[in-house]
């Protein structure tokens, strides 16, 4: 079983790598091979799982292996073929669709207006045809544009943008001058990027995705105790009552998110003093003005909220690291803890750098276990860009976390050569990232001056600290608050989106929401209720769109709940490793309380923390995740406590800020 599964996994990994790195002329050939492989694996699984069911009657010791192998959906060969075709279609819509504008539209300045921009917006789909962008779903824009203007520009005259990374960069404030030479105000450009991407990719995905839901549900109905694909996905995480856990975790962290939302709303109104933003203190935030295509990156507001001499994003950018420098620095922090360095095969086969210029690489950061005979054949795709070096550092450390997990679990049988759960696989890199950006390590990297490590007030009150939290707070520098604010604005807004993306899909899968009638209405109901954001155009006008299709993980059919859980587990692991580094154990005993603010815990060079990691990672998926969590943290439950402890100094600062300015927390 082990040898056969390794062979099948290797073939699947190779196809996946080819799809990410080869030219589009190979796409159909690769797709045909993928379909055949999926059909072979389905037939093999059916036979193997039937054999395993017979052996179980004799009390054999391989129950976990067969449980992991035999869970999940069971589609017929015909269904698998149709699913592959449909997924290929929507993935190509996402990765290959281009939004185009005339390269010389800036020459019309100073008379250039939003109307001119929309009149000259085109979409190029994978079949390479160019057509005018259909604005009919967005009524206000239709009224503003000239419907009689049908002049088509030649393709050579167009400047074109992929959704990722081009439009995503624009949404985070990079490359705004690429749109009509920057002769429009930023708000107009952001709205154009946000709306045009959704209008281009959502509608063609809508009906294919509805059919995919039917096909995926058919496969899960053939599995024991599954009514729909949402149940299949939830089973993968081995969490009893997963929906209740997810709801509880979100409720625990939502008050902190609402405080950030309130403060950002205050400064967003100052930055965009236009009719877009009303004076209501409890208003929903315009989605296109927050940062990122999904309003998930609010870091541009850091220095509005706390002006400071240090700009971490600028410091990372001016460090001028090459792509290889970036990967070497990520490797260094893992290696300093005694974890394995990257293999020769990794350096030979990975794609590091902006390898997408020739159009052959889907430049979405990723890691791959090739399941080759050479266990060191683990690969990564990272395409750093100088404008977002800080974000690139995060992506690199995160993806390397996957590689390290694969390496440490490589001695396990094939079925166990993965994380103890998908959530832990995602959490490892994020926990090490928390260690990689401590102020101490930023000094080590040359990003931060060491003066920002020392308390700025030399005098300390003679009154004894009433709590350990107050004592720890005395050691903070003003930079600590800027640092924590930046971390929070980068990480916390992703949590509600991770939460609602799977809540949304689960309710589509089980039929609680009628896809054809309410797919987009329900999506925005969740975005308003949980994220506190609204679209720039009316909700009524968006009814025919499919805005959820504009996110990568829907086209890739990747569950989001693993990232949601990882957002909490990563802080738990980080705190557990800190305790291990200091006390030799991750025990939750009161005597093992960390004596510094949690974000100041530097793991660099800690062999004690590294030893604990190697011990737990080496078990791969052979044990239940609760065993791994208990070893790493001393606890058996996923909780928000470590996350909230990490941001405690910032939480107190936000309380003072909100009280001082009389801000309203929450939204209507």
What phi and psi, each to the nearest 5 degrees, are found at residue 132?
-70, 140
56 in Cβ contact with 63 (< 8 Å): yes
Mean pLDDT, rounded, for 524-536 = 95
Q: Is 308 annotated as a binding residue?
A: no
- Is 518 known to sit in a ligand binding site? no
Tokens for 160? 């074109």
Average pLDDT, the chain: 87
Nearest by Cα to 579 from 600, 559, 601, 597? 601
- The pLDDT tens digits of the residues spanning 101-133 come to 887 675 554 556 778 788 888 999 886 666 777
What pLDDT score does 599 carry?
A: 96
Q: Is 659 within 8 Å of 277 (Cβ atoms)?
A: no
Among the listed residues 256, 257, 280, 255, the one whose alpha carbon sits nearest the alpha carbon of residue 269: 280
Which two three-digit tokens encode residue 19? Answer: 């799809």
Rounded Cα distance, 387 and 429, in Å: 22
DSSP per residue, 426-455? HHHHHHHHHHHTSHHHHHHTTSS-GGGGS-
Choose, from 10, 186, 518, 553, the residue flagged as catalytic. Answer: 553
Of the candidates 623, 637, 641, 627, the residue with the CA atom closest to the CA atom of residue 575: 641
Helix ranges (DSSP H) in 57-76: 63-70
pLDDT classification of 465: cutoffs 50, 70, 90: very low
Our answer to whether residue 296 is catalytic in this structure is: no
Q: Is the pLDDT of residue 461 over 50?
A: no
CB proximity list for 566: less than 8 A, separation 6 or greater: 423, 424, 426, 427, 430
On whether 398 is known to bind a ligand per the annotation, the reply is: yes
- Show the tokens assigned to 243: 């929906």
* Burial classification of residue 72, based on how many CB atoms lie within 10 Å of its CB (0-12 exposed, 13-18 middle, 19 or more buried): middle
DSSP for 368-431, written as a single string: EE---SSTT-EEEEE---GGGHHHHHHHHHHHHHHHHHHHHTTTS-GGGSS-SSHHHHHHHHHH
- Structure tokens, 385: 């860009």
d(CA 408, CA 617): 6
Closest CA to 7 of 48, 52, 43, 41: 41
Host H or E run for residue 256 = helix 242-271
Per-residue confidence (pLDDT) for residue 665, from 0 to 100: 94
| Helix axes of 494-509 and 478-491: crossing angle, nearest 10 degrees | 20
Rounded average pLDDT over 458-482: 57
pTM of the predicted model as reported, rounded to 2 decimal places: 0.92
Q: What are phi and psi of 349, to 5 degrees?
A: -105, -15
CB 158 within 8 A of CB 100: yes
Where do runs of H (alpha helix) occur along 272-388?
A: 302-305, 312-318, 323-336, 344-349
Tell whether the model's pLDDT for residue 561 goes beyond 50.
yes
Binned at pLDDT 50, 70 and 90, residue 58 comes out as low
State mean pLDDT over 597-613.
Answer: 96
* Active-site option among 331, 399, 408, 498: 399
Instruction: Give the mean model confidence (pLDDT) for residues 180-194.
Output: 88
Q: Give the span between the Cα atoms of 572 and 586, in whole angstroms.
A: 10
Burial class (CB in 10 A: 0-12, 13-18, 19+), 154: exposed
Q: What is the pLDDT of residue 21?
A: 75
- pLDDT band for 147, please (50, 70, 90 cuts): very low
**pLDDT over 90 at 626, yes or no:** yes
162 is catalytic: no
Please answer whether residues 543 and 515 qualify as being in contact, where contact means their C-beta atoms are separated by less than 8 angstroms: no
Q: What is the secondary structure of 550-569 as a DSSP string?
A: GSHHHHTT--SHHHHHHHHH
Element (H, E) at 597: none
651 touches 259 (CB < 8 A): yes
Across the strands, what pairs with 285? 533
Kindly report the three-state secondary structure assignment for every residue of 219-233.
HHHCCCCCCCHHHHH
**Do 571 and 646 form a contact (C-beta atoms < 8 A)?**
yes
Q: Rounded to 5 degrees, what are φ and ψ at 130?
A: -115, 130
Long-range contact pairs involving 228-232 (C-beta distance under 8 Å, separation at least 24)? 228/509, 228/510, 228/511, 229/73, 229/509, 230/502, 230/505, 230/506, 230/509, 230/510, 231/510, 232/71, 232/72, 232/73
What are φ and ψ of residue 100, in 5° steps? -125, 145
Contacts of residue 495, defined as CB under 8 A and 6 or more positions apart, other chains included, come to: 250, 253, 257, 564, 567
| 510 Rama sector, left if φ>0, alpha if ψ -120 to 50, beta otherwise | alpha
Q: What is the pLDDT of residues 320-361, one digit of tens each?
A: 898 899 999 999 999 999 999 999 999 999 998 865 444 455
How many Å apart are CA 293 and CA 475, to the nearest integer? 37
Q: From CA 616, how far away is CA 623, in angstroms rounded?
A: 10
Q: Are strands 351-352 and 378-382 parallel, antiparallel or unpaired?
A: parallel
211 marked ligand binding residue = no
Q: What is the mean pLDDT of residues 525-539?
A: 92
159-168, 331-340, 434-443: range with lowest mean pLDDT: 159-168
- List the 98-102 sheet strands across, edge first: 130-132, 122-124, 98-102, 158-162
For residue 367, report the phi and psi dihedrals to the nearest 5 degrees.
-130, 145
Q: Name the band, by pLDDT with cuts 50, 70 and 90, for residue 17.
A: confident
Arithmetic mean of pLDDT, 587-602 = 88
3-state secondary structure at position 133: coil
Kindly state the average pLDDT of the residues 286-291: 94
DSSP 134-203: --TT-HHHHHHS-TT------GGGEEEEEIIIIIHHHHTTSSGGGSGGG-S-HHHHHHHHHHHHHHHHHH
Q: What's the whole-number mean pLDDT along residues 568-590?
A: 93
Average pLDDT of the segment spanning 265-277: 80
Q: Are 460 and 481 in contact (CB under 8 A)?
A: no
The pLDDT-based confidence of 413 (bands split at 50, 70, 90) is very high
Q: Can you tell me the mean pLDDT for 613-639?
A: 96
Which tokens in the block code for residue 648?
């405690």
Rounded to the nearest 10 degrees, how much is the dihedral formed by the CA atoms of 341, 344, 349, 352? 50
With beta carbons less than 8 A apart as the criterion, state whether 487 and 567 touch.
no
Instruction: Read off the pLDDT of each residue in 377-394 and give the average, rounded to a whole number.
Output: 85
Residues 6+ apart with CB under 8 A from 517: none
The model's pLDDT over 477-489, given as tens digits with 9 standing for 90+, comes to 899 999 999 999 9
Model confidence band, residue 387 (pLDDT cutoffs 50, 70, 90)? low
**What ranges do the domains of the chain cover?**
1-89, 242-311+482-559
- The average pLDDT across 535-553 equals 87
């Amino acid at each position: 079983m082990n040898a056969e599964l390794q062979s099948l996994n290797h073939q699947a990994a190779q196809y996946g790598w080819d799809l990410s790195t080869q030219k589009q002329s190979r796409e159909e050939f690769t797709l045909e091979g993928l379909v055949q492989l999926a059909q072979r694996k389905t037939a093999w699984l059916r036979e193997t799982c039937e054999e395993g069911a017979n052996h179980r009657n004799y009390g054999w010791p391989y129950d976990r292996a067969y449980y992991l192998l035999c869970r999940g959906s069971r589609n017929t060969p015909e269904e698998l073929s149709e699913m592959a075709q449909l997924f290929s279609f929507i993935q190509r819509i996402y990765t290959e669709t281009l939004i185009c504008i005339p390269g010389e539209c800036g020459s019309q300045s100073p008379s250039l207006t939003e109307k001119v921009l929309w009149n000259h917006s085109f979409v190029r789909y994978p079949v390479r045809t160019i057509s005018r962008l259909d604005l009919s779903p967005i009524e206000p824009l239709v009224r503003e544009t000239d419907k009689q203007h049908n002049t088509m520009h030649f393709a050579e005259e167009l400047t074109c943008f992929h959704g990722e990374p081009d439009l995503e960069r624009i949404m985070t404030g990079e490359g705004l001058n690429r749109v009509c030479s920057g002769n429009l105000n930023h708000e107009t450009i952001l709205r154009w990027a946000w709306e045009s991407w959704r209008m281009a990719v959502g509608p063609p995905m809508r009906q294919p995705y509805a059919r995919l839901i039917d096909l995926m549900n058919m496969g899960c109905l053939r599995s024991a105790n599954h009514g729909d694909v949402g149940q299949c996905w939830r089973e993968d995480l081995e969490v009893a009552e997963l929906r209740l856990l997810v709801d509880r975790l979100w409720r625990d962290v939502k008050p902190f998110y609402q405080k950030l939302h309130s403060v950002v709303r205050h400064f967003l109104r100052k930055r965009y003093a236009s009719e877009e933003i009303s004076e209501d203190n409890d208003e929903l935030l315009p989605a296109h003005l927050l940062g990122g295509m999904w309003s998930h990156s609010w870091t541009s507001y850091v220095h509005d909220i706390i002006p400071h001499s240090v700009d971490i994003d600028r410091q990372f950018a001016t460090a001028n690291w090459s792509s290889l420098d970036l990967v070497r620095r990520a490797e260094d922090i893992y290696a300093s803890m005694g974890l394995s360095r990257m293999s020769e095969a990794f350096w030979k086969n990975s794609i590091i750098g902006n390898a997408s210029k020739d159009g052959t690489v889907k430049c979405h950061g990723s890691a791959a276990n090739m399941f080759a005979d050479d266990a060191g054949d683990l690969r990564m795709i990272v395409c750093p860009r100088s404008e977002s070096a800080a974000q690139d550092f995060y992506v690199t450390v995160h993806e390397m976390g996957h590689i390290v997990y694969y390496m440490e679990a490589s001695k396990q049988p094939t079925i166990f050569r993965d994380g103890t759960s998908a959530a832990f696989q995602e959490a490892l890199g994020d926990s090490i990232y928390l260690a990689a950006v401590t102020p101490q390590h930023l000094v080590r990297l040359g990003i931060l001056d060491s003066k920002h490590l020392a308390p700025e007030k030399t005098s300390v009150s003679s009154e004894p600290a009433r709590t350990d939290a107050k004592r720890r707070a005395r050691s903070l520098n003003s930079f600590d608050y800027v640092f924590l604010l930046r971390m929070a604005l980068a990480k916390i807004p992703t949590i509600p989106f991770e939460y609602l993306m799977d809540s949304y899909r689960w309710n589509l899968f089980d039929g609680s929401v009628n896809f054809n009638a309410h797919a987009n209405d329900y999506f925005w109901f969740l975005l308003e209720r949980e994220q506190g954001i609204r679209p720039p155009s009316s909700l009524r006008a968006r009814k025919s769109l499919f805005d959820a299709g504009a996110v990568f993980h829907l086209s890739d059919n990747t569950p989001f709940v693993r990232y949601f859980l990882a957002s909490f587990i990563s802080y738990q692991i980080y705190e557990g490793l800190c305790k291990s580094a200091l006390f030799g154990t991750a025990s939750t005993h009161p005597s093992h309380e960390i004596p510094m603010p949690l974000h100041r815990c530097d793991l660099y060079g800690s062999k004690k923390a590294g030893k604990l990691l190697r011990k737990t990672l080496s078990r791969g998926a052979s044990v239940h995740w609760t065993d791994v969590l208990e070893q790493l943290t001393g606890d058996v439950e996923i909780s928000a406590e470590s996350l909230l402890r990490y941001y405690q100094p910032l939480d107190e600062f936000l309380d003072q800020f909100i009280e001082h300015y009389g801000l309203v927390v929450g939204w209507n």
